[in-house]
Structure 1
């Protein structure tokens, strides 16, 4: 690649950071530019997940879609991949297999030789890493390392921008919740108050003036319909955007990270395997049940740790919310919240199981059929 083509490739990567593209598209542009600029056969960029030990993003270049599917699930943070997520120093090897942390590559994985890895850093924090292998014209050298460091800097900007966007979005979510609460208070709550007064008036008139009682019951019916319509107007369209766009695991990850920041309790998510997409009503039901379970644990259980576990069991997708709090009293099993959660799970063919001991915490388990 001559100097003009090199400059054009680098310019493309730089402009991608400021373009209105998704983070994954920007990272893919940077990976592709790195592979072309350094004349490597293979390139990848990994961004670690904070909770699962896997990667939140892992983009590759030089591997066909068919090869990538044959390789299998995304790699986890181990071996050489993990070295560059823990140590901010770049790593340049003539033979990747000579490194003491080299482990293996999966079946169908291309065979790698020379290797250049560059952590993506922001201050003292390592945000991810760039990995290049099999240089076509010799071995990676110091100039390649310097160029890859520049690209890693642009990747860091993209990731920091994405993080800032996510935080601003979380603030928007909280503002939207406040707006909905105000609407509920200003309109629906007032109508429900009027409905209650009118129902009381009708009850008082039943024995001494049945005709007026019938009129008041008509008002009750009208107020109930108006309240129902206003609730529906508030709720319609509130399907979590993250669930619809990214799936249950990603949406729960964002919810858990937000709750972990705003509550004293430690809130974590454990995902042990790839999570399949489900029908929208099933994903929504599971998400809403988990939301309610998290709310109960954080508001009422006095828990120090709340753990959300997401996994596949037989023909069901299972989510468990486990806390180390006060536990449930016998009367709590029939509470409106648990009744609503159970009803929501059963509405999509699933089931809810709650186990608890006083002083030893609570586990809420929702199972939703995959097929």
Structure 2
């Protein structure tokens, strides 16, 4: 099932890249040429300027959709490196995000803002799945790696956007990932079942045979825990 979904995502990504974006680019180029041919004081010139700005925004949205649907970084950098790069962009200057793993992991950048890594690099107390290792993490199957990437990015995005978190910790265990933030928190029972962020994370976890648990309370903290079975590549 996950292979079918990945194939469909790739196909949609190709359609956006090869068909939709070129059409938007061509439309914007045509609008610009027409605008340049009009007198500067023409009432149509200002309307065409607005249309051009909308088309530029449409191209930006299309590129963002392309990245979300089929992130090329997953193939180039692996899920952890790709997640760290996206999280760096999300965090900006107001939020510190620390990544940690129980054992040394080549290529793991411990902190988005280059501060000190989490002490000891040990899993959080609630992580009872055992220690991780470079082999454990790098051998996660492609579907699990993709789910891990999307869950981490979504959890961090929610913590920043809705919780105004200043500190977020992402801890990788053998068969789990836990994202904890110091944001404003929320009452779990007050979250509508239709809330897309949590629903999408839970759906991604279940798709690979895993579970997603969200714990929070008003005033924080909030934790998102993704657990899965033995999903190493054969």
Please classify the TM superposition score into its range, dividing by the shorter chain length. Answer: 0.5 to 0.7
1:349 is displaced (CA, Å) by 0.8
Partner residue in 2 for 1:181: 61
What do the CA deviations read for 1:9-55 (whole angstroms, capped 9, x no partner)?
Answer: xxxxxxxxxxxxxxxxxxxxxxxxxxxxxxxxxxxxxxxxxxxxxxx
Where do residues 87-106 of structure 1 align in structure 2 (5 Å cutoff)?
none
**In structure 2, distance between residues paired with 1:236 and 1:247:** 15
Instruction: Answer yes or no: is the 8 Å Cα contact 1:355–1:363 preserved in 2.
Output: yes
Which of 161, 164, 167 is the aligned partner of 1:302?
164
Partner residue in 2 for 1:350: 210
What do the CA deviations read for 1:229-259 (whole angstroms, capped 9, x no partner)?
Answer: xxxxx65994322222332222223233333
Unaligned runs of 5+ in 1: 1-175, 185-233
Where do residues 219-234 of structure 1 align in structure 2 (5 Å cutoff)?
none
Where do residues 246-261 of structure 1 align in structure 2 (5 Å cutoff)?
246-260=77-91
Larger Rg: 1
Paired residues in the alignment total 142
Which of 329, 339, 349 is the aligned partner of 2:199?
339
Q: TM-score, normalised on structure 1?
A: 0.35
1:300 is displaced (CA, Å) by 0.6
CA 1:246–1:183 in structure 2 vs 1: closer, same or farther (change >3 Å)?
closer
Q: TM-score, normalised on structure 2?
A: 0.53
More strand by share: 1
Partner residue in 1 for 2:102: 272
CA 1:266–1:177 in structure 2 vs 1: closer, same or farther (change >3 Å)?
farther
- RMSD value, Cα: 2.8
CA 1:254–1:182 in structure 2 vs 1: closer, same or farther (change >3 Å)?
closer
Structure possessing the higher relative contact order (Cα contacts under 8 Å, 6 or more residues apart): 2
CA 1:280–1:239 in structure 2 vs 1: closer, same or farther (change >3 Å)?
farther
Unaligned runs of 5+ in 2: 1-55, 104-133
